[in-house]
């Protein structure tokens, strides 16, 4: 455990400017940002349209109840 922590700390202490400019993993970061924006967009949309969706589903449930004896 101590060895792992000291290795991690050693890696953090030796980060160079070239390491910060590398573009490895840039695609993964961009995909994560897109997924995050989609989640935020869906959350906002469902929040705004929540009552309308609930009313629609209630009407559908009422009509199904009328069909089932």
pLDDT digits (tens, 9 = 90+) for 5-64: 776 767 666 766 666 666 666 777 888 899 999 999 999 998 999 889 999 999 999 999
Q: What pLDDT sits at residue 40?
A: 96
Looking at residue 20, its pLDDT comes to 64
In this predicted structure, what is the pLDDT of residue 5? 72
Cα-Cα-Cα-Cα torsion 13, 19, 21, 24, nearest 10 degrees, comes to -130
User: What pTM was computed for the model?
Assistant: 0.46
d(CA 64, CA 54): 15
């Amino acid at each position: 455990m101590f060895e792992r922590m000291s290795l991690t700390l050693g890696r953090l202490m030796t980060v160079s400017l070239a390491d910060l400019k590398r573009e490895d993993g840039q695609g993964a970061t961009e995909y994560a940002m897109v997924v995050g924006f989609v989640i935020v967009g869906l959350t906002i949309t469902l929040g705004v349209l929540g009552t309308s969706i609930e009313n629609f589903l209630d009407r559908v449930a009422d009509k199904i109840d009328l069909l089932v004896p």
